[in-house]
Amino acid sequence: MHSISATLEVLYWHVGAKVGIFPTVKPGLLTDENLPTAGGYVNGGLHSTLRTAYTGTASYLASPLPPVFVGAPTEKYNYASVSPFLKEGVEAFCLTAVAPIQRVKLLIQCQDEMIKSGRLSKPYKGIVDCFARTISNEGFLSLWRGNIPNVINFFSNKVISVGLTTYLMTLSNYKKDKDARWKSFFKSFAAGCFVVVATQFVVYPLDYARTRLANDIKTSNKIEERQFNGLMDVYRKTLRSDGIAGLYRGCPIFCVRSILQQGLYVVMHAFFKPNVLLSLVRLQDNILARIVMDGGTAVCRNVATYPLDTVDRRMMMTSGEVRKYRSSIHAFSEIIKNEGVESLYKGAGASILQMLAICAILFVGSGAWKSYVSTKKNKSAADGVSKKKNESAGDYQSTSIITTKWRSGRKD
């Protein structure tokens, strides 16, 4: 049950800026509890840079072993080895399920840039109005526009960040038990910052394409057709007008935001200790309590750094346009000067709604997964008992036959 809460890190992934997809390294991936150790099954779970999604059944059918080391599960129902793939599937499903809310968030967040470029005639009045106008003008399925590069971004980010993390920990010969607490903290945080920057160098163009496709709208009067016809068309037109720099416009401010979010994650868990707070009220094993706690910390990180996300998206929208921001600082000053500070938080409500939707999905999904595992365990146990009964019955029948033949022989 504790491992199910690991899946909640998708709250940061998708929701924040990228929490999505998370085109940033997973926060907390490099904190003490997640640092890789020597391979092997210990206390029922395989130690790696990714937490297992279910670790309570590794020794269920295994023969008795010493209390610390548990043999690798090789039984028919190998929950522990399947769990990482299940976790990735759950996160990808969450991204697709909340994609309509994500698109509405991007439309509200970038509407002022679309108005300046003439792509949008009037601003959206809110989340409901944005949903209604989008469905009316483009159709219901258009709410998932931009989701394909988002999912590709998610898996690419995951593979690259985990690979780099493992490599860095091996390269630095990190030893959790020997390094001092603060030394290990700064080493982990520095490595995490490097992973964020290195990963974004590869996957940022996917996030750029997602943003441009999501904000490529059709109007009710249909005077203008869509600006882009797909993922490759975004790259082709951007490279033609702005070169490679157009694909990375806004990347520096995004890296700053990702580093700040990772720092906030570490600070909040180091000083406020959410797990300890849950333990004090005896809710450490309560799934709903963990979802609420992780969701609350994700909302705090998101709101604190949301203006940086707005600047990032607004800078993306100027690629291919005549008017561009010279830098992120220039974008900040122009937005505040011409539109006010509140413009930096446009779309924040949709972002929080997206996090709440993910919380609901995780709560329902965790209950379904718990029921599935329980059913499998009961079925496996029943099969084991039935097999033993059949073996006992077979042994008894064989003994009876031998006894009968022996007695019959004596009679003759």
Share of the chain above pLDDT 70, in %: 68
> pTM score, two decimals?
0.71
C-alpha 36/C-alpha 170 separation (Å) is: 9
Has residue 338 been placed in a domain?
yes
Q: List the end-to-end C-alpha distance of the chain, in Å, as a whole number.
A: 67
Q: What is the pLDDT of residues 85-123, one digit of tens each?
A: 666 777 788 889 999 999 999 999 999 999 998 889 899
Residue found under tokens 């033993």:
388
Structural domain includes residue 75: yes
pLDDT of residue 405: 52
Main-chain phi, psi angles of 101, to 5 degrees = -65, -35
* The predicted structure's pLDDT at residue 313: 97
| pLDDT-wise least confident of 171-180, 188-197, 212-221, 339-348 | 171-180
Give every CB contact of residue 300 below 8 A, 6+ residues apart in sequence: 264, 268
Write out pLDDT tens, residues 150-203: 999 998 988 898 888 888 777 766 555 555 666 667 777 777 788 888 898 999
User: Regarding predicted confidence, which is higher, 7 or 338?
Assistant: 338
Q: Residue 158 is part of which domain span? A: 2-407
* Res 403: pLDDT: 53
> How far is Cα of residue 247 from the mean position of the Cα atoms in its chain?
23
Name the residue with tokens 């995951």.
158
∠ CA 200-253-332 to the nearest 5 degrees? 155
- Residue 98: the pLDDT is 94
Is there a domain that residue 367 lies in?
yes
Using CA atoms, how far residue 197 sits from 59, 164, 201, 331, 391, in Å, is 40, 11, 6, 21, 61
Q: Answer yes or no: is 293 within a domain.
A: yes
263 falls within a domain? yes
Looking at residue 328, which CATH number applies to its domain? Answer: 1.50.40.10
Region of poorest pLDDT, from 43-52, 156-165, 305-314, 389-398 = 43-52
Residue 412 lies inside a defined structural domain of this protein? no
The widest CA-to-CA distance across the chain, in whole angstroms, is 114
Secondary structure of residue 296 in the 3-state scheme: helix
Nearest C-alpha neighbor of 37 from the set 191, 161, 189, 170: 170
Residue 144: count other Cβ atoms within 10 Å of its Cβ: 15
Instruction: Residue 258: name the closest of 209, 208, 196, 212 by CA.
Output: 196
For 281, phi and psi rounded to 5 degrees? -100, 10
Number of domains in the chain: 1
Give the least confident one: 150-154, 299-303, 367-371.
Answer: 367-371
| Structure token pair of residue 221 | 């009067």
